[in-house]
Structure 1
């Protein structure tokens, strides 16, 4: 039957009030019991639609017996079931007064929808007055796995109250943590909850008492306190951060982050975010007045001979702005601006070698466009010193501005034409306090154009790609720089040029056959490849070095048309690369069981172009052999290796090795070794070892073996920690010792993080640190993918979280 009865508006504020502060990142619930705290109701029909569809759907009511008269009291007795859309209400008995709107549901009251399930002893209220009361409530959230109860819940319109309420993501019989509140008042229209007498318990022990606090109950952003971060390190001392969120408008907000470091002082961080229809941006600023570290280490800086301009300032801070804007489907802009008060700021604020290893901070802003056959842009960048062991004259040139473009289009099936263009003004400012004020380092302008044509002949098992390019480069130099580049007694040339053709031929074959390997059917390939390059010599000693460096020799360098980066040098060449690759690909799932490559360049003539006039040329003969291999021993154990052998001196130039072993569903062991002659020799051992389902050990030992005039052997980073995991709580205790600057100075830290799943995390963010240190931590980053925007291009907008 279908009488004119609305489904009772049960107080869903129970769920929202105690779970609104749940973490946004996905949680791991594998250790939780399969059965929820409130099991599935066997008599509940499948839901129809979701919460948005409820108002447009009728209410169906069914039961064993219906008595009463129209417009009077109606009684439904035995197996009472009401359904509207995704909502279901079940009870033993329901009395409803159609004239007054009063109702009473008693006996095994059960409610569920797409977000939660509730059981209660008694439900009563008045439909006309929109007032409702539930007694002895237990509930289970479906998406966040939260569960709990309340002695009584009341609701009048959009206002509600819960008395004696609890919330946890732990099973009822194993409460590792629980949030309890004497009373919670809910305003669903405003989206706020107010808790009185709230206590957070770990096991049986209360760890946090809040006599009164307000919190949001839905996904609308609200002004209020966020969860603090607590840590300790030898440099900062006790470290406490308390973020304060300010919801200023629907499309912009701000977070204030006061921070107290007992060994440093008080710092204030501020983050402002905005979002428009076509763009977004973030402004971050932090300020630390009267840093105690400055006065404490001032004499040490003087004794070490650190230049005055590279020393710590008394009042310290940093600024960062990043923003993107899309004008249309073709054009967009991207900006990243950075400032720090002194070159030691990043080192003093970072907690790893990687974060503090950059010698400079770069600010860049640009306009970028992309079409079917082209991409182009105009940008400018500026560099500031971020390494106190260096001078500003060692910073890269600023590009003020840089105009670039690339065009490539097939003119026919066998002909492709293209062009690369780069126009740049290079400038440099040295703020050293030697002499008088600022000293401008001489710069200049450069236009570099490279048109080319290619004829890609190819088939299913072969390809031949001859390419002919012409590189034309012209400069307009500052007089001082032109004078420095001119040979003694020669005329100063402020407008040097360079023009030369570049011819290359890239060809390869693909052979394959079916092969049985270790009991599985594989495709075995053999891929020979040759690459011939011919570029005539042009004397380039009179050209500056704005952005050009010698490229590190590697597998990719075997097939490039220039051994220098940037536009200031084009190497002459008469050389051929011969390379061979073989692969074993498992047919059942496409797994590349084995990949091995080897190659070498044969230089037919000396390559005389060098970075500086006094450098020796690259002599004719043979390059180092380059070999790379990867082998999946089985589905859990893999090995990767790289090797370069110089036949002239009969020793290796480079050697790298990495092996990875997967343990169970979560564990991993990594062992790596890297060697580059005269530059580095390092070993890196890291692991996550599960002892059982709940306990695991984590660690890393990153060590430098190199011993020469510039480096001594020593630990770069060491980590030792233990993790405990359960259905609803994760704890990590981690000890770290790591290099904090280029001089090898060490820092120690002990960090404890307690993660209450579905609520918050207390303490330092050790999980993020372990993900950086242990490749494959929790096995979600075994294959690294570069994030969008690395080429300076904006990514698609997404709303503020």
Structure 2
């Protein structure tokens, strides 16, 4: 009997942690329990301790207890006016008033009878209160057997007794710990004692087990979609397979079907998603609109791994028009990658098939079919020198350019190429607590076979190219530290100067096409890279020193309170400057001869955090990029962030934006959030999002409104202003009876994630 009460009683509602319990109690201004139940000290397992004013032994197998009867076991305490125990039949009968207590609940009833042999218990006229979370109710009869608990003509609510906003009344509530689900028959939802909704039958989870059925619907309204409703249906196919089918109705657009299939086997884990819209009423010129997504990771054996990540859409504006959980509406390209990896004792080999879909009015990109790369994970050593060999074999194809060449002979492009790159390297590394030194000497050998129209914009490409370039890199740093009282008493300051020399000789590479090469980020950490571009289609000439330093301040608890990193590249010859190198198609992205970069962080108070970064061309006297973020994070989910970002050249456009986030609890029940972002370059707002949440101990309500700029990837972003830009405005509602929906349904912290710009707190170690 005792074991059943401890494990089964109201487990369907017992999902809150102690922290949540305290938070709920604070909102409700009441404690969920007056005291924590504890077993009687010293009581042995599988035994009972019975106290009573009077005991009458009936024969040799039965006993009648009366007058303040108290029955204790290791898992419960039962008080009653009288109790009869029949040892032969294994029966317990108690008369009230009765109080039952364990570590999960407190129950009062008029009578109790139990079959100890069959492990079944019945309580009559029972009123219960959960002690680990908010939840209470009553039942004319409460029955427990070995596998389940049943409430007949019962009720449940999370509201306090003096303010019962809502409650559920049902002819029967069945909770099965073994199945992990609860069933409710003939349920009526009442709000302020007024019947609001009759539900003949519904089920809900009481633990982490899954079951097929409809999930909570989602309702909203906006200028773009009109009235929008989502009604997900969850299909529990098998323990390792499930699917979610979601009809999405948009009054201005039409009916869209969203599906997701998830699978988990011994070797594979992944999901396949398909979104389909037969006809878009707002875009009558478009055909069927769809999204396909396949993501999988595999462990084929101890040495082989696999990965698939494919996303395909019907048209460039699918994400900006319809949104999706499988890609961001601000994405400008989609990746389609298949990867097979072999992990050897000394070598790692990656076999990749990759394709990029560039969204918008841009040139199509090359696909890699395949790209085989290998790198040496364990070096060969001789006289403290490490020898490694890395390389790759890639075959690139661009069918769109091939079709264009066939249609228009004036279009000159390379549509197919094979590239073999091998890079042996000798490395010497010395590391000590105070300083370290690294020297690397590489030989880069690359061979190309190119097909297509080999004349483009005045450049002559060669069908066969053999390129050999050496590279020398010398890098060293020194570590200093001292005691400091700046920002904090008994603090520690470190200073790490860094110096790098990089040399790559000049080589005319204009006879090579561009297949997977782009310019890398020019931040402080990028100053100490050994290359300027990703890929190997262009290896920039270098004869340069990079000088930089980083200083940090730590508290006596090893918390980082401040850091500052600054550095600059100095070229030893004019020919090595980026502006003097004619990197076709990449030179248009801008070249900066005297690049200065810095990063800084200041955490002078546990609630305040300042982060910034800058890249500046000291020769051209212009800012390239900058960002600054000021954060305040207080107690009880208080946060404010103000940020500014600037970029001199993003696809030919200057970007300058300023934004703010705020999340402020007004009191214990009300919570306000807002975010606003404005484009200072085009003098227009980009997004406004605001929301208000009310949360009591038994129900929660959210309302959010947004005004977001609509993006058309087939048009240029330049030239738009506040008057010509098109905006989408909308409002969302969410109402939850707590105890019938998950915490995610009313989490104020997640409201800021609904916008185009999600709130992100800058990273630091003592976050």
Quick check: TM above 0.5?
Answer: yes
- SS at 2:23 equivalent: coil
Question: CA offsets, 1:133-173, max 9 Å, x none?
Answer: 21233334455543333232235665653133232334333
Distance 1:409 1:148, change over 3 A: same
Q: Give the conservation status (yes or no) of the 8 Å contact 2:518–2:586.
A: no
User: CA–CA distance in 1 between the matches of 2:174 and 2:585?
Assistant: 79
- SS at 2:463 equivalent: coil
- What is the deviation of 1:670? 0.7
Aligned position for 1:499? 468
Of 220, 241, 257 in structure 2, the residue corresponding to residue 268 of structure 1 is: 257
Aligned position for 2:685? 715
User: CA–CA distance in 2 between the matches of 1:403 and 1:48?
Assistant: 69
- Alignment partner of 1:725 is 2:692: no
- Alignment partner of 1:701 is 2:672: no
- TM-score with structure 1 length normalisation? 0.83
Q: How does 1:593-672 map to 2 (within 5 A)?
A: 593-605=561-573, 606-607=575-576, 608-612=580-584, 615=587, 623-672=594-643
- Alignment partner of 1:572 is 2:572: no
- What is the deviation of 1:623? 1.2
User: CA–CA distance in 1 between the matches of 2:642 and 2:115?
Assistant: 68
Distance 1:324 1:523, change over 3 A: same
Distance 1:351 1:378, change over 3 A: closer
- What is the deviation of 1:504? 0.8
Aligned position for 2:720? none
- What is the deviation of 1:574? 0.4
Aligned position for 1:349? 322
- What is the deviation of 1:577? 0.6
Aligned position for 1:305? none
**Does 1 or 2 have the higher relative contact order (CA < 8 Å, sep 6+)?**
1
Q: Give the conservation status (yes or no) of the 8 Å contact 1:700–1:719.
A: yes
Structure 1 gaps of 5+ residues are 1-5, 50-56, 299-311, 707-711, 786-801
Question: CA offsets, 1:670-720, max 9 Å, x none?
Answer: 1111122252111011111232232232111111111xxxxx321111112
Question: CA offsets, 1:632-656, max 9 Å, x none?
Answer: 2312122222223322233333332
Q: Give the conservation status (yes or no) of the 8 Å contact 1:600–1:622.
A: no
- Alignment partner of 1:278 is 2:248: no
User: CA–CA distance in 2 between the matches of 1:23 and 1:320?
Assistant: 35
- TM-score with structure 2 length normalisation? 0.86
- SS at 1:760 equivalent: coil
User: CA–CA distance in 2 between the matches of 1:25 and 1:405?
Assistant: 51
User: CA–CA distance in 1 between the matches of 2:18 and 2:403?
Assistant: 48
- What is the deviation of 1:267? 2.0
Structure 2 gaps of 5+ residues are 716-724
Distance 1:10 1:561, change over 3 A: closer
User: CA–CA distance in 1 between the matches of 2:310 and 2:326?
Assistant: 23
Aligned position for 2:666? 691
Q: Give the conservation status (yes or no) of the 8 Å contact 2:171–2:185.
A: yes
- Alignment partner of 1:529 is 2:498: yes
Indicate the RMSD between aligned Cα atoms, in angstroms.
Answer: 3.8
User: CA–CA distance in 2 between the matches of 1:225 and 1:448?
Assistant: 54
Q: How does 1:72-471 map to 2 (within 5 A)?
A: 72-77=61-66, 78-84=68-74, 86=75, 89-107=78-96, 109-113=98-102, 115-128=104-117, 131-141=120-130, 145-155=134-144, 158=147, 161-185=150-174, 193-202=182-191, 207-295=196-284, 298=285, 312-313=286-287, 315-350=288-323, 355-370=328-343, 374-384=347-357, 387=359, 389-391=360-362, 394-409=363-378, 411=381, 414-430=384-400, 442-471=415-444
- SS at 2:378 equivalent: strand
Distance 1:159 1:598, change over 3 A: closer
Of 508, 518, 539 in structure 1, the residue corresponding to residue 508 of structure 2 is: 539
Aligned position for 1:739? 709
- What is the deviation of 1:735? 1.0
Q: Give the conservation status (yes or no) of the 8 Å contact 1:80–1:94.
A: no
User: CA–CA distance in 2 between the matches of 1:16 and 1:327?
Assistant: 40
Distance 1:613 1:162, change over 3 A: closer
User: CA–CA distance in 2 between the matches of 1:145 and 1:219?
Assistant: 20
- What is the deviation of 1:187? 5.8
Aligned position for 2:722? none
- Alignment partner of 1:556 is 2:525: yes
- What is the deviation of 1:560? 0.9
User: CA–CA distance in 1 between the matches of 2:145 and 2:561?
Assistant: 65
- SS at 1:771 equivalent: helix
- What is the deviation of 1:498? 1.3
Distance 1:442 1:354, change over 3 A: closer
- What is the deviation of 1:534? 0.8
Question: CA offsets, 1:517-554, max 9 Å, x none?
Answer: 24511101222111110111111111110011222322
- SS at 1:565 equivalent: coil
- SS at 2:283 equivalent: helix
- SS at 1:677 equivalent: strand
- Alignment partner of 1:63 is 2:80: no
User: CA–CA distance in 2 between the matches of 1:287 and 1:441?
Assistant: 35
User: CA–CA distance in 2 between the matches of 1:774 and 1:347?
Assistant: 10
User: CA–CA distance in 2 between the matches of 1:532 and 1:732?
Assistant: 58
- SS at 2:507 equivalent: coil
- Alignment partner of 1:44 is 2:12: no
User: CA–CA distance in 2 between the matches of 1:114 and 1:103?
Assistant: 22
Distance 1:776 1:351, change over 3 A: closer
- What is the deviation of 1:90? 4.9
